[in-house]
């Protein structure tokens, strides 16, 4: 099932697969391909049947980032560059915020924008021959959608400076050491390892997974006490969906029913509230 020019897209058993498909260009992100990618992620977001999204690359590589030849010819002026960076950031945020588990299956190169995709995913599994880096500095560019921001949150500012300011291309094992990626497997074991993870995820409490992802992603960006608030609320919600939802003094929908029916409860509450401490 695919209706894209530069992506392969399929859905099966609650799993969506997006394959970046410009192998002759090392799956570099053209303007058209980026638009299709944004559309595919939105498509996954809007589905309640899908539980997992897997990203892959065609032709033995994951993604080499933006198409630099197209950038020079078609991206426009400085304001256009800024707008495109913001569009990419929106796409990465959309990917990171999906209420689905996301997996990047990396073979070959994952550099620039390709690496930025992996950093917005929940899990990254790579082959031993996979390579990664942020070489933008040598093209006279700076990263636009996670290479400095998400990376600093994942591995700290000192290592983020090293990766971005030096522009080296690193082996997969280094990403494992830095906690950028989760697992490195033999070159012929990538799909098998992805399937093992998919089988494990399918066995889990799906609402629990959704809430876990939410509270981790949101909690890491705020202070401890606010993060603990998310954690506590999640505990209450998961108890409710597990059947322990009745609270003796909860409204149980009576307020909304009263609004619809305009009954005595609605009249009494509004009569008490409407002019309370209001000087007219």
Encode pLDDT of 169-206 as tens digits. 999 999 999 999 999 999 999 999 999 999 999 999 99
Of 116, 177, 191, 231, which one is the catalytic site residue?
Answer: 116
Q: Identify which of 64, 50, 48 has the alpha carbon closest to the alpha carbon of residue 9.
A: 50
Position 2 pLDDT exceeds 70:
no
Q: What pLDDT is attached to residue 162?
A: 98
Q: Are residues 76 and 48 in the same domain?
A: yes
Q: Are residues 257 and 225 in the same domain?
A: no
Q: At a CB cut-off of 8 Å and minimum separation 6, what does 70 contact?
A: 30, 31
Q: What pLDDT is attached to residue 225?
A: 94
CA 134/CA 72 separation, integer angstroms: 19
Encode pLDDT of 39-95 as tens digits. 999 999 999 999 999 999 999 999 999 999 898 888 899 999 999 999 999 999 999
Per the structure, the complete domain to which residue 212 belongs is given by 206-241
User: Considering the domain boundaries, does residue 2 fall inside one?
Assistant: no
Q: Is 116 a catalytic residue?
A: yes
Q: What pLDDT is attached to residue 73?
A: 84
Q: Are residues 128 and 113 in the same domain?
A: yes
Encode pLDDT of 86-107 as tens digits. 999 999 999 999 999 999 999 9
Kindly tell me the burial class for residue 17, based on how many C-beta atoms sit within 10 Å of its own C-beta (0-12, 13-18, 19 or more): buried
Q: Are residues 194 and 167 in the same domain?
A: yes
Position 1 pLDDT exceeds 60:
no
Q: What pLDDT is attached to residue 74?
A: 87
Q: Are residues 58 and 117 in the same domain?
A: yes
What's the domain count of the chain? 3
Q: Are residues 277 and 222 in the same domain?
A: no
Of 5, 36, 39, 136, which one is the catalytic site residue?
Answer: 136
User: Considering the domain boundaries, does residue 22 fall inside one?
Assistant: yes
Tell me the CB-side half-sphere exposure of residue 138, using CA atoms within 13 A: 10
CATH number of the domain enclosing 125: 3.90.226.10
Kindly tell me the burial class for residue 89, based on how many C-beta atoms sit within 10 Å of its own C-beta (0-12, 13-18, 19 or more): middle
Q: Is 136 a catalytic residue?
A: yes
Q: Is the pTM of this model over 0.85?
A: yes
């Amino acid at each position: 099932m695919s209706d894209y020019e530069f992506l392969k897209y399929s859905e099966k058993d609650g799993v969506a697969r997006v394959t970046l498909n410009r192998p002759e260009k090392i799956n570099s992100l053209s303007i058209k391909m980026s638009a299709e990618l944004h559309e595919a992620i939105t498509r996954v977001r809007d589905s309640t049947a899908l539980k997992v999204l897997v990203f892959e690359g065609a032709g033995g590589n994951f993604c080499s980032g933006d198409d630099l030849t197209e950038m020079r010819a078609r991206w426009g002026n400085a304001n256009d560059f800024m707008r495109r960076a913001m569009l990419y950031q929106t796409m990465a945020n959309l990917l990171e915020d999906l209420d689905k588990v996301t997996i990047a299956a990396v073979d070959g190169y994952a550099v620039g924008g390709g690496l930025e995709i992996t950093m917005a995913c929940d899990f990254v599994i790579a082959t031993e021959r996979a390579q990664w880096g942020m070489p933008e500095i040598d093209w006279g560019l700076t990263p636009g959608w996670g290479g400095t921001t998400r990376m600093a949150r994942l591995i700290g500012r000192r290592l983020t400076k090293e990766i971005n300011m030096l522009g080296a291309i690193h082996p997969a094992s280094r990403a494992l050491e830095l906690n950028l990626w989760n697992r490195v497997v033999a070159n012929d074991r990538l799909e098998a390892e992805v399937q093992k993870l998919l089988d494990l995820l399918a066995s889990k409490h799906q609402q629990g997974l959704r809430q876990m992802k939410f509270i981790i992603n949101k909690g890491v960006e705020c202070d401890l006490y606010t993060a603990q608030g998310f954690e506590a609320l999640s505990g209450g919600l998961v108890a409710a969906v597990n059947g322990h939802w009745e609270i003796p003094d909860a409204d149980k929908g009576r307020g909304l029913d009263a609004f619809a029916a305009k009954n005595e409860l609605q009249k009494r509450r509004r009569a008490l509230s409407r002019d309370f401490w209001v000087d007219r």
